């Protein structure tokens, strides 16, 4: 079984990026049942049994030999193992997914880490994969037969499902994007670390986690203002980025918002189909240190709404193959992904999920570049809003990213109209 990658998917091959999902558990885990559940899920989704191979000037997906197909790995360890998995790339030419269960010596606390190559996933499908895995586990613990449907074949790329359009319109859209990007060269935050190379650093994550009450109050504030939570978070991060640039007055900053295409196609593509189904919206905004956060949030939310109303989300995916010729098109001062409100895994009675995380990572970081976008990965699992700030320590230091996180936390708590007690209840 083999499928040639489309031009958009070929871009992800070079990026060597991946989604890293994890869930922390308390209680017993039947490792044999979990291993069988993982094999069932990969049988249902043949993309998870594939590898990337060269194909002419591009690449293709090709099924792995049975002896090389991914299996659940089980080992004893502690919290430090999460960082190890976050920093462990997927093997070039090998499986596009990896599943590791790390249990403490007493086997009462566990962390499952799923790593999936961005060539075959986006945030929504990665979350669906995690939840489906635990659904299959729960079925096996409950006595359901360990049967999986036969593989239906590798799903086609999202780019082939876009509505038909005149190529001249796409050319005009690209021309306008290039002109706009040239009019306002993107401002990037300068690294605070000076190192000779990547060997001296690692991927780390500063995390902002709100409790359910603060999350609810933030949503209420967004609704009351006619805004989205995404707009509020984007504004808070833009203002934090502006404070880290020199000079006074307004600066033109660019906000990049990756957007889901699955629900906007006809017919919609289910979240559990393992393909990358995202494009991105870019918006240039004038930001000063004292810009009103609500006004900035209105601009962020309004720009994204207009983007969809015009149908530009489809054009944005059509021009993605041209990005290598115009690399500044996909640069932003800040990058704010947002999975929205999602449910976490459901486990059998006696075992409890204590935390769920989704963090993007990639193989290559470039300290020598001197600056880069600031990234925030947003998801609300079971009513708790979490923002992950991944960074490489050869670029941005831990104190730098902690301070950034704390500024965004303070801004969101203020927007939630939290008093001092609620502010302290919001954990980071």
In a domain, 231, yes or no: yes
Residues 318 and 421 in one domain: yes
- Cβ atoms of residues 83 and 202 within 8 Å: yes
DSSP-derived secondary structure letter, 99: E
Residues 82 and 171 in one domain: no
Which residues face 342 on adjacent strands? 381
Residues 205 and 329 in one domain: yes
The pLDDT tens digits of the residues spanning 292-349 come to 999 999 999 999 999 999 999 999 999 999 988 998 888 999 999 999 999 999 999 9
Residues 268 and 318 in one domain: yes
To which residue do tokens 């906000």 refer? Answer: 255
In a domain, 373, yes or no: yes
In a domain, 79, yes or no: yes
Q: What is the pLDDT of residue 142?
A: 86
In a domain, 147, yes or no: no
- Cβ atoms of residues 233 and 378 within 8 Å: yes
- Cβ atoms of residues 230 and 236 within 8 Å: no
Domain boundary among the residues 111, 141, 171 is at 141
**DSSP codes joined into one string, 275-318:** S--EEEEEEEEEE-TT--HHHHHHHHHHHHHHHHHTTHHHHHHH
Kindly state the average pLDDT of the residues 362-370.
90
The Cα-based distances of 238 to 17, 133, 207, 299 in angstroms read: 24, 36, 17, 12
Residue closest to 296 by CA, chosen among 250, 247, 232, 251: 232
In a domain, 149, yes or no: no
The domain total for the chain is 2
Please, which residues have CB within 8 angstroms of residue 407's CB and are 6 or more apart in sequence? 236, 240, 243
Q: What is the pLDDT of residue 327?
A: 86
Kindly state the average pLDDT of the residues 376-388.
96
Q: What is the pLDDT of residue 323?
A: 85
Q: How far apart are CA 399 and CA 392, in angstroms?
A: 12
Residues 136 and 174 in one domain: no
The pLDDT tens digits of the residues spanning 11-61 come to 999 889 999 999 999 999 999 999 999 999 999 999 999 999 999 999 999
To which residue do tokens 């956060």 refer? Answer: 293
Residues 136 and 220 in one domain: no
Kindly state the average pLDDT of the residues 225-239.
97
Residue 214 sits in a domain whose CATH number is: 3.30.559.30
Domain boundary among the residues 92, 112, 141 is at 141
- Cβ atoms of residues 356 and 22 within 8 Å: yes
Q: CA quadruple 112, 64, 119, 162: dihedral positive or negative?
A: negative
374-381 and 352-362 strand pairing: unpaired
Residue 43 is inside which H or E element, if any?
A: helix 31-44
Residues 216 and 115 in one domain: no
**DSSP codes joined into one string, 354-391:** EEEEEEEEES---GGG-EE-EEEEEEEETTEEEEEEEE
Read off the pLDDT band of 419 (50, 70, 90).
very low
Residue closest to 89 by CA, chosen among 296, 304, 364, 322: 364
Residues 103 and 246 in one domain: no
Residues 51 and 23 in one domain: yes
Range with top average pLDDT, 168-182, 232-246, 413-427: 232-246
| Residue-number span of the structural domain to which 16 is assigned | 2-141
How many helices (H) and strands (E) in the chain?
11, 16
Domain boundary among the residues 141, 175, 202 is at 141
Residues 268 and 311 in one domain: yes
Please, which residues have CB within 8 angstroms of residue 89's CB and are 6 or more apart in sequence? 16, 18, 363
The radius of gyration of the chain from alpha carbons, rounded to an integer in Å, stands at 22
In a domain, 146, yes or no: no
Residues 202 and 92 in one domain: no
Residues 191 and 336 in one domain: yes
- Cβ atoms of residues 249 and 231 within 8 Å: no
The pLDDT tens digits of the residues spanning 234-253 come to 999 999 999 999 988 999 99
Mean pLDDT of the residues in the chain: 92
- Length of the chain as a residue count: 428
Q: How far apart are CA 394 and CA 374, in angstroms?
A: 14
Count of beta carbons in the 10 Å neighbourhood of residue 294:
15
- Cβ atoms of residues 21 and 118 within 8 Å: no
Q: How far apart are CA 172 and CA 165, in angstroms?
A: 12
In a domain, 402, yes or no: yes
Q: How far apart are CA 241 and CA 311, in angstroms?
A: 29
The pLDDT tens digits of the residues spanning 98-143 come to 999 999 988 889 999 999 999 999 999 999 999 999 999 999 998 7
In a domain, 153, yes or no: no
Residue 79 sits in a domain whose CATH number is: 3.30.559.10
């Amino acid at each position: 079984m083999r499928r040639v990658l489309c031009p958009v998917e070929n871009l992800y091959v070079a990026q060597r990026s991946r989604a890293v999902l994890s869930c922390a558990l308390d209680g017993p885990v039947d490792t044999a049942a979990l291993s069988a559940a993982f094999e069932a899920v990969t049988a249902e989704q043949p993309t998870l049994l594939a590898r990337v191979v060269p194909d002419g000037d591009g690449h293709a997906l090709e099924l792995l030999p049975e002896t090389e197909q991914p299996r659940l790995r089980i080992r004893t360890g502690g919290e430090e193992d999460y960082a190890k998995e976050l920093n462990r790339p997927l093997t070039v030419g090998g499986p596009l997914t990896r599943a590791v269960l790390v249990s403490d010596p007493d086997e009462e606390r566990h962390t499952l880490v799923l790593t999936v190559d961005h060539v075959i996933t986006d945030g929504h499908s990665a979350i669906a994969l995690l939840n489906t895995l635990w659904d299959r586990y729960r079925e096996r613990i409950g006595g359901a037969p360990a049967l999986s449907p036969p593989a239906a074949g590798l799903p086609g790329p999202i780019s082939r499902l876009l509505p038909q359009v005149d190529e001249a319109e796409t050319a005009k859209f690209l021309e306008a994007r290039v002109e706009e990007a040239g009019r306002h060269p993107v401002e990037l935050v300068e690294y605070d670390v000076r190192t000779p190379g990547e060997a001296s650093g690692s991927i780390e994550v500063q995390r902002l986690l709100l409790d359910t009450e603060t999350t609810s109050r933030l949503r209420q504030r967004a609704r009351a203002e006619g805004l989205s939570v995404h707009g509020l978070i984007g504004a808070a991060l833009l203002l934090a980025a502006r404070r880290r640039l020199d000079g006074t007055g307004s600066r033109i900053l660019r906000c990049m918002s990756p957007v889901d295409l699955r629900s906007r196609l006809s017919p919609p593509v289910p979240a559990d189909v393992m393909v990358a189904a995202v494009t991105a919206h870019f918006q240039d905004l004038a930001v000063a240190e004292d810009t009103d956060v609500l006004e900035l949030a209105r601009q962020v939310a309004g720009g994204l709404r207009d983007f969809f109303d015009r149908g530009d989300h489809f054009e944005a995916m059509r021009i993605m193959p041209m990005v290598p010729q115009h690399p500044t098109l996909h640069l932003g001062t800040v990058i704010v992904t947002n999975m929205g409100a999602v449910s976490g895994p459901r486990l059998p009675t006696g075992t409890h999920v204590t935390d769920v995380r989704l963090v993007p990572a990639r193989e290559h970081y470039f300290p020598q570049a001197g600056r880069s976008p600031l990234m925030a990965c947003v998801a609300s699992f079971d009513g708790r809003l979490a923002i992950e700030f991944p960074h490489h320590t050869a670029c941005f230091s831990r104190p730098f990213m902690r301070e950034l996180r704390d500024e965004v936390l303070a801004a969101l708590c203020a927007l939630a109209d939290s008093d001092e007690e609620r502010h302290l209840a919001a954990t980071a």
